[in-house]
Structure 1
Amino acid sequence: MRVKICAVGRMRSGPEKLLFDDYADRFSKTGRALSLGPLTVTEVEDKKNRGQQAEADLLRNAIPKGALICAMDERGKTRTSPQFAQDLARWRDNGTADLALVIGGADGLTPGFRAEANTALSFGTMVWPHMLARVMLAEQLYRAASILAGAPYHRE
């Protein structure tokens, strides 16, 4: 199952990018034997500042056709890391070819976009900077792959 993060905004060089790249690489390596990955990222920008609806349209265009869409949203389900790992395994085992994990802009995702998503996940009710949310998502993908592989990275 190919995994794609579709996100509003460009990640610039710096500590967040270094962390993201590290976890994305770890996920791609660990996930390969599990039929997970590679992890790719598509960044979109509303250069004309047309707002949340324009961002939603750009995100829709970034999502692979037929992908399972998982919106990252504060109103989504909170999952433990093992539960998230099981979600990934279930989606893969049910024949999902592409998983799109979508992160909106500063104002989040439109209600219409959230309604179109197959599911929504949350890192909790706190609001996180978008670049840190990407890092946390990449780390959780790596953690999920490690759990599924039986590796000792995740300890309960």
Structure 2
Amino acid sequence: MRLLLICVGRSKPGPERDLAARYIERAGAAGRSVGFTGVDLCELDESRARRAEDRKAEEAKAIRARLPPGAEVIAFDERGKTLSSRDFARHLGQSRDHGIGAAALIIGGPDGLAPDLRAGAALALSFGAMTFPHQLARIMAAEQIYRVATILAGHPYHRD
């Protein structure tokens, strides 16, 4: 199963971008042993529309254009549910085992995700009740992808 992290907004050079890239690289290496054929980061431009609803709609269109056919969509959204890392690993492992070819994990822009995109996701996840900057959300998502791969591989990175 291919994993794709789709983020609205482009990272500027610096430690945040480097850290996210490092976790994605690690996830790609660790994921090969558990049936993840690749982990890719896709950055999309933020919409410049005036109204938040229009921005979210334009960004949703751009996200949909990048979704692989038949991909399971997992939305990171403040209204999503919280899962433990083990439960998230279990979810992705089951998706892989059911023959889903790709999972697209999406992070919206500053205004969030369009309601129809969020509602159409197979799973909506939240990092908790607190609000985090976009760059930290990207790093946390990338780290969780790496953690999922290590959990599924039985690697000691994750400790209960």
Give me the whole-angstrom Cα distance separating, in 2, the residues matched to 1:41 and 1:139.
13
* 1:25 corresponds to: 25
Q: Which residue of structure 2 aligns with residue 142 of structure 1?
A: 146
Give the C-alpha shift of residue 68 in structure 1.
0.4
Distance 1:90 1:47 in 2: 34
1:131 paired with 2:135, answer: yes
Paired with 1:113 and 1:145, the residues of 2 have a C-alpha distance of 26
Q: Is the 8 A contact 2:24 2:41 kept in 1?
A: no
RMSD across aligned C-alpha pairs, in angstroms?
1.2
TM-score, normalised with respect to structure 2: 0.93
2: distance between equivalents of 1:48 and 1:63?
22
Q: Deviations over 1:28-77 (max 9, x none)?
A: 00000111141111111145435111111111111111100011111111
- The residue number in structure 1 matching 2:15 is 15
Code of the residue aligned with 1:117 in structure 2: it is A
CA distance in 1, matches of 2:148, 2:37: 12
Task: Give the Cα separation in 2 of the matches to 1:67 and 1:47.
Answer: 24
The secondary structure found in structure 2 opposite 1:11 is coil
TM-score in terms of structure 1 length: 0.95
DSSP 3-state at the match of 1:123: coil
Q: Map 1:27-46; keep pairs closer than 5 Å.
A: 27-46=27-46
Taking the aligned partners of 1:128 and 1:22, their CA distance within structure 2 comes to 20
* Aligned equivalents of 1:86, 1:48: Cα separation in 2: 38
Match of 1:33, SS state, is: helix
SS at match of 1:109: coil
The runs of at least 4 consecutive aligned structure 1 residues that moved more than 4 Å come to none
Aligned residues: 156
Q: Give yes or no for contact 1:7–1:104 (8 Å, CA) kept in 2.
A: yes
Matching residue of 2:4 = 4
The residue type equivalent to 2:122 in the other structure is: N
1:109 aligns with 2:113: yes
Q: Please, which of 136, 140, 158 is the counterpart of residue 154 of structure 1?
A: 158
Structure 2 unaligned residues grouped into runs of 5+? none
